[in-house]
Amino acid sequence: MKPATRLVSLGREPSDGSGPGGFVNPPLQRGSTVLHTSVADMRERVRRAMSGDDSGPVTYGIHGTPTHRAFLDAMTALEGGHQSWALPSGLSACTTAIQAFVQQGDQVLVPDSVYGPTRAFCSGTLSRWGIQAGYYPPDCGARIEEYIQPNTRLLFLESPGSLTFEVQDVPALAAAARRRGIVTVIDNTWATPLYFRPLDHGVDVSVHAVTKYIGGHADLLLGTITSNAACAPALRALIRALGLTTSPDDCWMALRGLRTLDARLQRHRATAERLIAWLQQQPEVHAVLYPALPQDPGHALWQRDFSGASGVFGVVLDPAITAGALQACIDGLRLFGRGYSWGGFESLLIPSYPERDHAPRLPLTRLIRISAGMEDPDDLIADLLAGFTRLRAGPGGVPA
């Protein structure tokens, strides 16, 4: 089946009461205590769980309800993985996936373009635990060998980077890591499992901020980790040891989000492309950072590895624009929300400061990030036009 069809049909089991003879959607099941039919049944379920077999009925709600399983099985199938887990946020999915494979004395390699809080975890929390964080240029490809140390245990990827949108050469990075027994973890949020399947390219573990496009409605905080068979035991052990769990309601919402992901992403991209075409005509716009653009430095890799593009992108503005003018431009916007996150139905526009988090090799002083939403693109362009009028008015900008 093609991916769009799989989005509609995955996670629906006649045994859940969904499908022919039942409702279209699986039921939402909440619960902590699980009742066993006998002591022998208890023992058998515990034995299976202890042996690492999560395919049967669980012993306790912390290990997931059928609602969790419906969503997570769909994610596993979409990512082509062995097993998936739900985490309370995208950030916790990133940090848990890293923690599962490292210990004191190890080094973790992270791209310079990585999401700021992931970077903060690596250089702050991990370093307190005696785990070193090293940073590499996201576009280094096979030159990653120059950054690998004898104690490198994990290579983290994020492609494209969520502020600066560099596409990484994932197969080259994964192959170099695998040759040295280094685990690879990728933050695959931008592409969603619909447009990029990292495990097919040699990556061990793929992470999503479900909060973004999969949730899609700015009303959900959730993350997932999907692993190949080799890395699953370490992840399973850590997630169980830490008692990490999520609400079944959130997983139900996430499964609901998957149903419309294909249509939403097409709309997000079409709107992004309309906005980009307008932005490229403005003299204050020096570059648009969006891998689907033929002139983008990551375009060739994106075209080789990805099957589509979502609708969040960066806009590099003239560095001579004053902070006051940019602020007036953004503050007066009526349709673009000034909010963190992306992937929801409402368009968002924020100033971003990669120089605050990234190494100095990314000197972008006037950068904005746009998440194209579901509004009519003509209305969004009118809002941007008014914003650029304020921008042009000089240091303080003019009232809208």
Ligand X SMILES: Cc1ncc(COP(=O)(O)O)c(C=O)c1O
Residue closer to ligand X, measured from CB, 97 or 148: 97
Q: How far is the CB of 333 from ligand X (least distance, A)?
A: 20
* Distance from C-alpha of 380 to C-alpha of 376, rounded to nearest angstrom: 7
Is residue 111 within 8 A of residue 138, CB to CB? The reply is yes
Residue closer to ligand X, measured from CB, 131 or 221: 221
Q: Is the bond preceding 160 in cis, omega lying within 30 degrees of 0?
A: yes
Residue closer to ligand X, measured from CB, 101 or 342: 342
- Pick the closest to residue 267 from 213, 215, 337 (CA basis): 213
In the three-class reduction of DSSP (H, G, I as helix; E, B as strand; rest coil), residue 105 is classed as coil
Q: How far is the CB of 115 from ligand X (least distance, A)?
A: 4
**376 to 26, 268, 361, 382: CA distances (angstroms):** 33, 11, 37, 10
Residue closer to ligand X, measured from CB, 266 or 341: 341
Residue closer to ligand X, measured from CB, 204 or 284: 204
Judged by CB under 6 A, the stretch of 46-54, 65-73, 87-95, 389-397 that binds ligand X is 87-95
Length of the chain: 400
Q: Tell me the site size for ligand X, rule CB under 6 A.
A: 14
Residue closer to ligand X, measured from CB, 169 or 187: 187
Q: How far is the CB of 77 from ligand X (least distance, A)?
A: 22
Residue closer to ligand X, measured from CB, 107 or 159: 159
Residue ranges in 97-126 that form contacts with ligand X under rule CB under 6 A: 115
What character string, x for contact with ligand X (CB under 6 A) and - otherwise, covers 216-235? Answer: -----x-x------------
Is residue 85 within 8 A of residue 239, CB to CB? The reply is yes
- Pick the closest to residue 246 from 217, 218, 263, 221 (CA basis): 221
Judged by CB under 6 A, the stretch of 64-72, 83-91, 145-153, 242-250 that binds ligand X is 83-91
Residue closer to ligand X, measured from CB, 198 or 377: 198
Q: How far is the CB of 162 from ligand X (least distance, A)?
A: 4
Residue ranges in 249-268 that form contacts with ligand X under rule CB under 6 A: none
Residue whose entry in the numeric block shows the structure tokens 């599962």:
100
Judged by CB under 6 A, the stretch of 57-65, 86-94, 324-332, 390-398 that binds ligand X is 86-94
Query: Which strand (E) or helix (H) includes residue 86?
Result: strand 83-87
Angle, helices 66-79 vs 248-259, to 10°: value is 40
Residue ranges in 134-193 that form contacts with ligand X under rule CB under 6 A: 158, 162, 187, 189
From candidates 140, 209, 362, 368, binder to ligand X by CB under 6 A: 209
Residue ranges in 35-54 that form contacts with ligand X under rule CB under 6 A: none
Residue closer to ligand X, measured from CB, 25 or 89: 89
Residue ranges in 329-348 that form contacts with ligand X under rule CB under 6 A: 341
Query: Which strand (E) or helix (H) includes residue 110?
Result: strand 107-111
394: number of Cβ within 10 Å: 13
Q: How far is the CB of 193 from ligand X (least distance, A)?
A: 14
Residue closer to ligand X, measured from CB, 325 or 350: 350
307: number of Cβ within 10 Å: 12
* Distance from C-alpha of 53 to C-alpha of 57, rounded to nearest angstrom: 10
From candidates 91, 176, 289, 325, binder to ligand X by CB under 6 A: 91
Beta-strand pair 223-227/83-87: antiparallel
Of all residues in the shown chain, the one whose CB is closest to ligand X is 90
Vertex 165, ends 159 and 169: CA angle to 5°? Answer: 40
Q: How far is the CB of 144 from ligand X (least distance, A)?
A: 20
Q: How far is the CB of 198 from ligand X (least distance, A)?
A: 14
Is residue 117 within 8 A of residue 262, CB to CB? The reply is no
Check residue 291 and give left, alpha or beta (phi > 0: left; psi -120 to 50: alpha).
alpha
349 scored as a contact of ligand X (CB under 6 A)? no
Which amino acid is it at 202? Answer: G
Interface residues with ligand X (CB under 6 A)? 89-91, 94, 115, 158, 162, 187, 189, 209, 211, 221, 223, 341
